[in-house]
Structure 1
Amino acid sequence: MIEVEGLTKRYGEKVAVNGLTFTVRPGVVTGFLGPNGSGKSTTMRMVLGLDRPSAGAVRIDGLPYGRLQDPLRHVGALLDAKALHGGRSAFHHLLALAQSNGIPRSRVDEVLDTVGLTAVARKKARGFSLGMGQRLGIAGALLGDPRILMFDEPVNGLDPEGIHWIRTLMKSLAAQGRTVFVSSHLMSEMALTADHLVVIGQGRLLADTSMADFIRHNARSYVRVRSPQREQLLDVLRAAGTVPVEAGGGVLEVDGAAAERIGELAARHGIVLHELSPRQASLEEAFMRLTAESVEYHARAETSSGGWGDAGGGRGGGKVT
């Protein structure tokens, strides 16, 4: 378990992390989301004792990281896949980690096999692709067979097979009762992987909730309906207390009513339906809506005159990730 309490980090006048309090529990995959510059990487570094908090505390299974004996046996982390000695082979990179943490040599071969790098175990890491580097970093995180795992952008550089593999791995680790904490900008993948979400913006906690509740509370879900008896359908829906919105092309979008209820209303009044489809809001839509006021870096779209127009406003300021 990871417990974050009142965690704050300042760089001069810049507040990168501002009073964060949350708990990452075992048995589920917890996604860590936030716009660029929101403080996610800084938070993860403080969890691992790489940065010192200005205020607050982090406990890993009840202890600060610095007080853990054999830390790789307690927590494994992938924060930067490039943080390795390029002149060492994959095998010797992991062997050095194992020997410094009292981990048996046999474990090196096991994790190389788990991440699919056995065939290149004796090749120097400097020749690895980005995806191979990610796999080696994940092998390092798994090396001590820890109960807690932290991954920052673990799918970077992975091909579709690799993305499916890391998704399955994280779910499997959580199913074993381990604590899995993962940060990613890839919303479609996070929607398939995470059970729980911690969302921050400008260093502050915005949400700490289940995936389902996060989407339900922060994005619109509706039912799309189309009928040749459109006017009659509108009257029936309004009489039933719903608020249908005309979406063009004869389509109505209905909030606040289940598709089953709309179908039953139509059947009761003899209305033919050509379409009745519930539309579930996406994680990306919910995330964009919740964090709209917390985005620090806005792109600007090129105008037809060749200049650059603001694509959503923006602010200056140093970047802290």
Structure 2
Amino acid sequence: MIELDGLTKHYGDTVAVDDLTFTVRPGIVTGFLGPNGAGKSTTMRMMLDLDNPTSGTVRIDGRHYRQLQDPLTYIGALLEAKAVHGGRSAANHLLCLAQSNGIPRSRVAEVLDTVGLSSVAKKRVKGFSLGMNQRLGIAAALLGDPQVLLFDEPVNGLDPEGIHWIRNLMKNLAAQGRTVFVSSHLMSEMALTADHLVVIGQGRLMADTSMKDFIHQNSRSYVRMRSPERERLLGVLRDAGIHAVAVGDGSLEIDGVPAERLGELATAHNLVLHELSPQQASLEEAFMRLTAGSVEYHAHDGEPHAAPGRPPWPSQPQQPPQPAQSPGPAVAGPDTPRAAGWGADWREKRS
């Protein structure tokens, strides 16, 4: 369990994290969301004592990180995948971490196998791709078989198979009763992975709720109906005291009435329906709606702005000027992880 109580961080006059209080509970995947600059990375760094809070506290299973003996056996984290000495092999990098935290050498091979890097265990990390670095960072987080895990953008650089693997890994870790806290900007993936959401904006807590409730509270839910007898359907709904809005594609949208009730009403009046579908916003739409006022960096749709002192961007690509041609004959030219597996439980071996 991770507990934050009034956690605050100032950088001069800038408030990066502002009085955050929430609890990350075991047994579920908790997603950590917020716009760029919201304070997510700073919050996660303070959880690991990489940054000191200006005020407030954060505890891992009741203790500060600095009070943990052999901390990798309590909490594992992936914050910056490329923060690895490039001259070391993958196996030696993990071995250094293992030896500094009282973890047996055998655990290195186990986690490399778990993340699918056994075949490159002896290769130097400087030759790794971004996806391979991500897998190595995840291996480091799993090394101590911890009960608490932090992942910051864990799917960066992973291919579709890798994304599917890390999603199932996080779900499996939570199902084992571990605390799993994951930050990501990839909303479609977060919607498939997280059970609970913590959302911050400009350093302040904006939501701490289940995935289902977050989408329900921050989006419009309605039922769409479509019938070849639209006018008669409108009349039936009107007589039942139900307000329907006609939209451009010929369908009707109804708020606040369950689809089951609408279907029963249509059946009772022998109405043919071509569509009866509950509609709900995606996590991305709900997130955008909640955080619209706390976005720090706003981009603009449309054509890019020209830099000062330069001419405006052309609306159409322009051809470079052609050199003048002297008269003469025409010249002919060419046609223009493996699935997640923990291996042996080494904790039993060392007991």
What is the deviation of 1:35?
0.4
**What displacement does 1:261 show?**
1.1
Q: Name the structure 2 match of 1:278.
A: 278
Distance 1:84 1:242 in 2: 62
What corresponds to 2:73 in structure 1? 73
Q: Which amino acid aligns with 1:187?
A: M
Give the Cα–Cα distance (whole angstroms) in 2 for the partners of residues 225 and 142 of structure 1. Answer: 49
Tell me the C-alpha RMSD between the 2 structures: 1.4
Residue 108 of structure 1 corresponds to: 108
Quote how far apart the aligned CAs of 1:267 are.
1.0
In the alignment, structure 1 residue 217 sits paired with structure 2 residue 222: no
The corresponding residue for 1:313 is none
Distance 1:243 1:93 in 2: 64
Matching of residue 34 in structure 1 with residue 34 in structure 2: yes
Pairwise mapping of residues 88-99 of structure 1 onto structure 2 (< 5 A)?
88-99=88-99
CA distance in 1, matches of 2:20, 2:246: 42
Answer yes or no: is 1:235 the counterpart of 2:235: yes
Quote the residue 1:192 is aligned against: 192
Q: Which moved more, 1:259-268 or 1:146-155?
A: 259-268
CA distance in structure 2 between the partners assigned to 1:204 and 1:242 by the alignment? 40
Tell me the distance in 1 between the aligned counterparts of 2:267 and 2:5: 55
Distance 1:243 1:96 in 2: 67
Q: Distance in 2 between matches of 1:305 and 1:168?
A: 43
Pair 1:225–1:126, CA change in 2 (3 A): same
Q: How far apart in 1 are the matches of 2:272 and 2:300?
A: 46
C-alpha displacement of 1:304: 9.8
- Looking at structure 2, the residues matched to 136 and 17 of structure 1 have their Cα atoms a distance apart, in angstroms, of 29
TM-score scaled to structure 2, two decimals? Answer: 0.86
Equivalent residue for 1:138? 138
Task: Describe the superposition over 1:92-139 as per-residue Cα deviations: whole angstroms up to 9, x where unpaired.
Answer: 000000001110000000000000000000000000000000000000
Return the alpha-carbon distance in structure 2 between the equivalents of residues 158 and 254 of structure 1. 41
Structure 2 residue identity aligned to 1:108: V
Segments of 5+ residues of structure 1 without an aligned counterpart are: 309-321
Within 2, Cα distance between the matches of 1:253 and 1:56? 47
> Deviation of residue 239 (structure 1)?
3.1
Aligned-pair distance for 1:303?
Answer: 4.4
Q: Distance in 2 between matches of 1:70 and 1:253?
A: 58
- Between 1:265-274 and 1:108-117, the stretch displaced more is 265-274
How far residue 300 of structure 1 moved from its aligned partner, in angstroms, is: 1.4
Q: Could you say which structure has the higher strand fraction?
A: 1
- Structure 2 CA distance, aligned partners of 1:140 and 1:125? 13
Deviations 1:239-266 (A, max 9, x none): 3333322221211111111211111111
What secondary structure sits across from 1:301 in the alignment?
A: coil
How many residue pairs get matched? 308
Superposed CA deviations along residues 203-251 of structure 1, whole A, max 9, x for unmatched, are 0000000001101111112111111111121122233333322221211
**CA separation in 2, counterparts of 1:277 and 1:215?**
17
Partner SS, residue 58 of structure 2: strand
Residues 39-78 of structure 1 aligned to structure 2 (within 5 Å): 39-78=39-78
Q: Give, as a single letter, the amino acid of the residue that structure 2 aligns with 1:224.
A: R
Q: For 2:202 and 2:271, how far apart are their aligned partners in 1?
A: 50
Shift of 1:276: 1.2
CA separation in 1, counterparts of 2:43 and 2:65? Answer: 13
Q: Which moved more, 1:220-229 or 1:234-243?
A: 234-243
Large movers: runs of 4+ above 6 Å: none
The SS at the match of 1:134 is: helix
Gaps of 5+ in 2: 307-311, 314-351
C-alpha offsets along residues 8-50 of structure 1, whole Å, 9 cap, x if unaligned?
0000110000000000000000000000000000000000000
Matches within 5 A, 1:11-30: 11-30=11-30
**TM-score with structure 1 setting the length:** 0.94
| Rounded Cα–Cα distance in structure 2 between residues aligned with 1:106 and 1:41 | 32
User: What do residues 56-89 of structure 1 show as CA deviations (whole Å, max 9, x unaligned)?
Assistant: 0000000010111110000000000011000000
Query: How far apart, CA to CA, are the structure 2 residues paired with 1:249 and 1:279?
Result: 15
The aligned runs of 1:117-196 (5 Å cut-off) are 117-196=117-196
Whole-Å separation in 2 of the counterparts to 1:268 and 1:85: 71
